[in-house]
Structure 1
Amino acid sequence: MIFRKSSYSLIGGIIALLVITGYQTYQYAEQLWNHRVLDKQQLYTLKENTRLIDVFEQLHPLAPQQRFVLKGWLRLYPQLAKIKAGTYQLPAQASFAKIAAILRSGNVYQYHITFVDGETMTQWWQQLQQAPGIKINQASLTQVTAELGFSNGNMEGWLLPETYYYTQGTTAEALLNRAYQAMRQFLAQTWQTRKAGLPIRSPYQLLVLASIIEKETGEVEEMPKVASVFVNRLHQHMRLQSDPTVIYGLGDAYTGNLTRANLRQKTRYNTYVIYGLPPTPIAMPGRSAIQAAAHPANTNYYYFVADGSGGHHFSVNLQEHNQAVRKYILKR
C-alpha cells in the first residue's frame, strides 16, 4: 500500500508538472505570437508555397526555442498559417500575429503611378520603366503600342492622365491599356455633349485640339478661352500659330529656345506653316482640356499672349495683340 500511494503521488506530481509546464509554454507561445518584431514599415513579397514559419525567420531571426514554440503554435492553430502569395505592406511594430493576419488577408499592396496632364507618350514610357512593381514585357515603346493595337505606333493623346493603382507584376501593357480605355470612354462621353457648330469632324480631332490647349495653358479656368481662340481661327481658316505644335514637330532637334527659323521650318505639326490641326495630338490632354475643346467659351478672340502671371492676355485683332506683345513680352 505504501508503494502504491507513493506511485500515485509521483504520477500526480508529474501530471501537475506537465500541466503547469504546458500552461507556461502556452502563455509563452501566446506572448511570442503577439510580440512586436518589425522596427519599420516595409514591403514584403510572399512567394508561392512559402511556409509562415519561414516568413517569420526572414523578417525576424528566431532562436531555436522561439522557432520550436511558434511551430507548435501553428500546429495547434493551423488555420493561422493559410497565407496567400503576393506583395504586402507590413506596418512598423507589427507582431507575428499581425503579419500572419495581413498575409492571410490577400489584400496585396497597391502601387500607384500618376500620369501628368500635358506630358508626352515618350515621357510616360520613361516613367513606366522606372516605376516599382511594373513588369516590362516589350523592349521598346513601338513594340508596346503595336501590342495594344496601334499599328501606326502612335499612342500620343490616347491615354487619360490620372493616378492609376496596380499590384506587383502588372505589365506596362496592362496599365497603358487601362489608361487607353479610360480615355476612350471619357472622349466618347464628351464628344456626345459637345457644343454645336464646332469646326471639328471627329472625336480624334477633338483630342488633337485638346492637346494643344493643354500645352498652351496650365490654368484650367482659362482653357475655354484658349479653346475659343483656336475654334475662331479654324472657322476663319486661319493658321493656329501655336508654339507647342512647332516644338513637338522639332522633336529632339528642339534645344529649349524657339527661334524665328523654327517657326518657318516646315513639319507636319508646325501650325505656323500648315492650316488646320496637326495630324496627331502633341501631348496627353487631361479632362479639363478635353472639356474646353468640346465647350469653348463664346468670344471674339483670335490672339493671346502670356502676361507673365501664369495666364494670358486675349485680343480680338492683330493690332491689339501687337500692343500686348510689346507690353508683356518686349516690355516696352
Structure 2
Amino acid sequence: MSIFRKVTATIALATMLAGAATAVSAQETLLRSSDTHPDGYPTVEAVKYMGELVKERTDGRIGIEVYHSAQLGEEKDTIEQTQFGVIDLNRVSMGPFNNIVEETQVVSLPYIFRSIDHMHKVMDGPIGDEILAAFEPHDLIGLAYYDGGARSFYNSEKPIKSMDDLKGLKFRVMQSDIFVDMVNALGGNATPMPYGEVYSSIQTGVIEGAENNWPSFESSKHFEVAKHYTLDEHLIVPEVLVMSKKSWEKLSPEDQEIVRTAAKESVTKMRELWQAREAESEKMVREAGVEVVKDIDKQPFIDAMKPVYEKYVTNDKLKDLVARIQATE
C-alpha cells in the first residue's frame, strides 16, 4: 500500500469510527476493536465478552464495539491503524507481527509447540508475559492470547500424505517471512496474500491451497474449493489481542487494570468457545465430503525445519527463548 493510500485509508477509517463513537452517547469512551473473522467466531465473541466485563466494571463508562469480518481492513493494515491510534483494540494472528516484534517469530516457528496443552503452559506463564511486554516499544500494548488451533495444509488437487506430495503446489500463507520459508522448505511454493483473497484464488487456480485450523477452514468456506485436508499440524500459533498504546495512555491506571484483567478473563471464555467450534467445524467439513488425512509421519516435516530455525533464531535472546519453550513441561 502506498503512503498516499495509507494516509487516505487512515483518514477514511478515522472519519467512519468517529461517527460511530458519537452515536454512543451513554458511554464516555468507546473502544473500537478489529477482527478479520466473522461474527460469532470464538475470537469475536471473546472480545464482546471482554466488553461486557469492562462495561460492568466501569459502570458503563467504557464500552467495546467489535468490527468483525475485516470491516476495518485485513490484518496487516489494521496493525498499522492500531499503532496510529485509529483502531483501539485488535485481535490479530501472530504471523503478521513477525516482522515487527522479534519475539513473536519464536512462537510462530513450525513445531515449536508439542501440543495445544504445551502452548497453553508456555503462553499462560512468564514466557507469555515476556512476549506481551515486547509489543510496547512498537506502540502496542499486549493484553492476552487467544487460541489459533493447529494449522494444517489443505488443497484442491490431491491428498498430502508425505512431503513429496507438497512439491510444486502453490500455498497461500500469511504475510510472514517465516511462513514463506516454512512452505518452501517443505517443497511447496509459498504465496503470501490476504486472507480474504484465498477462496477465489483457489477457485480460479491462482493457488492450489492454503493452511489453517478447522474453524477457519470451515468458516471461510475454503472446504468448498479445497477437498483435501491433511492434519500435519505444522503450526500451533497463538493469536494475540493488542491495544493501541495511544488509546491505552488515555485511560486512568485504574481503567487500564480493568481492561487488562477483563482481557485475561476473556481467554477462558474464548477457549471454551474454541473447543466447541473446532468439533462443530470438523463435523461440518467431514460431512461436506472433504478427504481428511490424519495419520501422517510428522518427523520428516520436523526435520525439514532445521534451516528455518537457523535463519530466524539468530541471537542469544531468541535461542534462549526457544530453549525455555522446549524445556517447558
Q: Does TM, normalized by the shorter one, top 0.5?
A: no
Bigger radius of gyration among the two:
1
Q: Which has the higher contact order (CA 8 A, sep 6+)?
A: 2
With structure 2 as the length reference, what TM-score do the two structures score? 0.22
Q: Judging by fraction of residues, say which structure has more strand.
A: 2
